[in-house]
Structure 1
Amino acid sequence: MSNLNRKIVVVTGGGSGIGLAIAKRLASEGANVVITGRRQAVLDEAVALLGDRAVGIVADVSKTSSLEALYADVRRRFGRIDVLVVNAGGGVHAPLGQITEAQIDQQFSTNVKGVVLTIQGALSLLSAGSNVVIIGSTASMDPGPTMSIYGATKAAVRNMVRSWVAELKGSDIRLNIVSPGPTNTDSLREAFGDKAEEGLAFLTAKSPLGRIGEPEEIASAVAFLASDEASYINGVELFADGGASQT
């Protein structure tokens, strides 16, 4: 178990899926967790599940003004952030020739601009010993057919982290990426649309472990990197995909 007791944690996109699993894991280890999302009803349901250690605050990571309001609220309530989990993001399947301008803008706005604004806005609340965990994707190196734009956004995040680690030298703030492979969430099934079963079968066959991941398994990787047990780990991209991206 990680040593996260009384840590102040912010998880963007924490109302469902992998983000909610991360919030549950960190709260179970004693952290006070702030989850964000764009829908109040979803956050309310998640907070009811998480219990007294959780707070839900509506925020859009693609908008500076929304993040400023979020961090002002966090400062008022807690005064600091010990762990920032940058999880909000999403992807759209589209083959070359059918990629729309709106799809490009949507994915880069959340997955790239949103990551920049989220971390940049939190800097004044982070201090020596705090850390940031970004949820990337194995698509950063193995996007597969129809996921070129999504993969490009995740590759961009990997390269931004390479730069930021150097820029944060001397601050004692760690910055790492957890890149999940296919994970058993509603959003994965929704991405495949009416071909969900076919898509899941393909992903299962590709996995050396013969299955896709569970959100709780991704949460375990995040909990490790967020803890002091990972105090000498900085700037890594940890692939949590059962080895699928290496084959």
Structure 2
Amino acid sequence: MLNGKTALITGGTSGIGLATAKLLHANGAKVAITGRKPQELDGVREIIGTDVLTLQTDVLSRDALRMMASDVHSAFGALDIFFANAGVAYVTPLATTDEAQYDRLMDTNVKSVFFSIQAVEPFMREGGSIIVTTAWLNQVGVSGRAVLSASKAAVRSFVRTLSAELLARRIRVNAVSPGLIETPILRGVGQSESPGQTEAEFREYLADASKLIPVGRLGRPDEIAAAVLFLASDASSYMLGSEVVVDGGFAEL
């Protein structure tokens, strides 16, 4: 499906990013991923293969994002697919959230998405595909999630505006909107920035959350990866500015 195409995934060492890297690679794409920790990047090469390009990148640094784009350009020549997936998630209650927590969440989830797209866009082929990760939270109001929800609503807006801006180059910008997916980042959704949650408490949270989802379970990273594969491929060539919601019906029913 993706033979001869090149792909870059930020936040590709675990969860949705790793599942997507595996799937795009399995479908013929040359894949590059970013992560912060060298040992996690090494682990990805062990899982997927040594032909995966791994880049230690701080997405909060514009210089690092420029270097990321330059490294991908040097390795691949041009980029067909960019999945802006890196992000953080934790609760931000109105009464207790401080400026540092606000800034970290918005800088990671919004600022880094904008500037990572800015960095890679010059190296993208015409007809390429950009995918960003939004969330079910941009459609509903949930107590304690004000900043996280706002960050996902902001990147949902990017999908529309950047689609219009890149239309002349036929670069499509779309979003995948996961519901509650069993990934490492999920620990932060119901916790503070520095959760002290035990494994038993986390499992209890998952069980309670599953009862709220119409299909009766949390999603799997590979289910989100399948949606990203669709948006990355020519099968979605008539889609731009769109959001594919994969949430077990959580935000709709």
Q: TM bucket by the smaller chain?
A: over 0.9
Partner of 1:245: 251
SS at match of 1:127: strand
Residue identity over aligned pairs, in percent, reads: 39
Structure 2 portions without partners, runs of 5+:
191-196
Does residue 1:210 correspond to 2:216, yes or no?
A: yes
Aligned residues of 1:57 and 1:70 also touching (Cα < 8 A): yes
Where does residue 15 of structure 2 map in the other structure?
Answer: 17
Match of 1:100 among 98, 101, 117: 98
Show the counterpart of 2:110. 112
TM-score (norm 1): 0.95
- Rounded to whole Å, the distance in 2 between the matches of 1:159 and 1:35 is 25
CA contact (8 A) 2:79 2:123 kept: yes
Shift of 1:79: 0.8
2:229 corresponding residue in structure 1: 223
Maintained 8 Å contact 2:92/2:148: no
Whether the 8 Å CA contact 1:190–1:196 is kept in 2: the answer is no
Residue by residue, what CA displacement relative to the aligned partner does 1:218-239 show, whole Å, maximum 9, x if unpaired?
0000001100011111110111
Deviation track 1:202-245 (CA, whole Å, cap 9, x = no partner) reads 32111110011000000000001100011111110111001111
Which structure 1 segments of 5+ residues have no match? none
Question: Which string of whole-angstrom CA distances, capped at 9 and with x for unpartnered residues, describes residues 125-171 of structure 1?
Answer: 11211110111111111252222111110001111222111111221
- 1:168 is the counterpart of 2:166: yes
Secondary structure at the counterpart of residue 31 of structure 2: strand
- 1:136·1:154 contact (CA, 8 Å) conserved in 2? yes
Q: Distance in 2 between matches of 1:159 and 1:65?
A: 25
* CA displacement at 1:102 relative to structure 2: 1.1
Contact 2:69–2:120 under 8 Å retained in 1: yes
1:28-76 per-position Cα deviation (integer Å, ceiling 9, x unaligned): 1111110101111111111211113311101111211001111111111
Q: What whole-Å deviation, never above 9, does each CA across 1:172-230 have from its counterpart, x for those lacking one?
A: 10000001000011221354434423321232111110011000000000001100011
Q: Quick one: distance in 1 between partners of 2:233 and 2:50?
A: 21
- Name the aligned partner's letter for residue 242 of structure 2: V
1:143 and 1:58, CA in 2 relative to 1: closer, same or farther beyond 3 A?
farther
RMSD, matched Cα: 1.3
Paired residue for 2:45?
47
Greater mean deviation of Cα atoms: 43-52 or 104-113: 43-52
Structure 1: distance between partners of 2:42 and 2:35: 10
Query: What is the total number of aligned residue pairs between the two structures?
Result: 245
Kindly indicate whether the alpha-carbon contact (under 8 Å) linking 1:27 and 1:53 is maintained by their aligned counterparts in 2.
Answer: no
Question: Does 1:233 find its partner at 2:239?
Answer: yes
Q: Which position in structure 2 is the counterpart of 1:201?
A: 207
**Whole-angstrom distance in 2 between the partners of 1:53 and 1:183:** 28
